[in-house]
Homo-oligomer: A and B are copies of this chain.
């Protein structure tokens, strides 16, 4: 069975400031050709171009919080989308002050974008549905940082049941009835005979999920929001040698990220948001793997999918 696309592209994995080879936070998530840009640090539009991403296919931008390394690339990206002729509305999910910032900039530069921005402000109450269509659900949930900050959870909607074509051929079933079968119902065929759903359909592939958790102090409650997530990105700004600094700045260590992955019963963990003080990142894996083995590093240009 061919699965629909579910691919995460890392555009930036650095915390606070870019380094010579790491960009500030940004990720592009493609679920069934819905493109979600998650955070938008400085130079995200340059990263999107570098990795040949479809700029105008992005209809949803989600900003976790208003520290600059998570949104300083947004004004430039919006400007470029407009200059390239975008007409389609764009939804931005974010804390309310981001609208004030963008409005202030556009007023000062006398810029009128050629497309509408639909602002949808995040709230910090439990799990909150932001977006839903036929294929995907997107939720925000509270993280615990120095300023108001949310994580995001992306879930495939249950896929239709798969029809067993060999069995179907002999059963004289109309097209309308086939749709009912895909939705799990029993049907009557054109000869008036009851066809039990289970006799002619196969279970669909299980729906998959991705959770984005940046930035946050070690916060066990996250596990309740993202229970059984397939793919988890959790920030690991520091290693355990800087645990005090992690606590003080409301960030996490690689070990703590692994603990959240374990508590969440996640399948795969991706570590990111690395402090510029760390050149070689191998130590992040060494620290996380004894607690949660299926663990990788967020490296610019790398893609991940939950199919593991």
Contacts and interface: CB of A to CB of B under 8 A. Distances in A.
Nearest to A43: B43
Contacts of A105: 68, 101
B109 A68 contact: yes
A36 to B, nearest CB: 22
B17 A83 contact: yes
A67 interface: yes
Given A43-B42, A110-B147, A146-B110, A83 B18 contact: no
Identical chains in the assembly: 2
A76 B71 CA distance: 10
A111 B107 CA distance: 22
State the 8 A-B residue pairs at the shortest beta-carbon distance, nearest first. A97-B108, A43-B43, A17-B80, A42-B76, A66-B109, A72-B76, A104-B104, A66-B108
A68 B79 CA distance: 8
Interface string A110-149: 1100000000000000000000000000000000001100
A46 B49 contact: no
Contact of A108 (B46, B49, B98): B98
Given A45-B42, A66-B108, A109-B147, A75 B72 contact: yes
Given A67-B109, A100-B104, A20 B49 contact: yes
Contact of A68 (B18, B46, B75): B75
A100 B108 contact: yes
Interface string A26-50: 0000000000000000110110011
Q: Classify chain A's interface size.
A: 35 or more
A146 B111 CA distance: 11
A272 interface: no
Contacts of A151: none
Contacts of A24: 76
Interface string A77-113: 0011001100000000001011011001101111100
Contacts of A19: 49
Contacts of A76: 17-18, 24, 42, 68-69, 72
B18 A45 contact: yes
Contact of A20 (B18, B43, B50): B50
**Considering residues A23, A76, A111, A147, which has the most beta carbons from chain B within 10 angstroms of its beta carbon?**
A76
Nearest to A16: B83
Contact of A17 (B45, B66, B95): B45
24 contacts: A17-B45, A17-B79, A17-B80, A18-B49, A18-B80, A19-B49, A20-B49, A20-B50, A42-B42, A42-B43, A42-B73, A42-B76, A67-B109, A67-B111, A68-B75, A68-B76, A68-B79, A68-B105, A68-B109, A68-B111, A72-B72, A100-B108, A101-B108, A110-B146
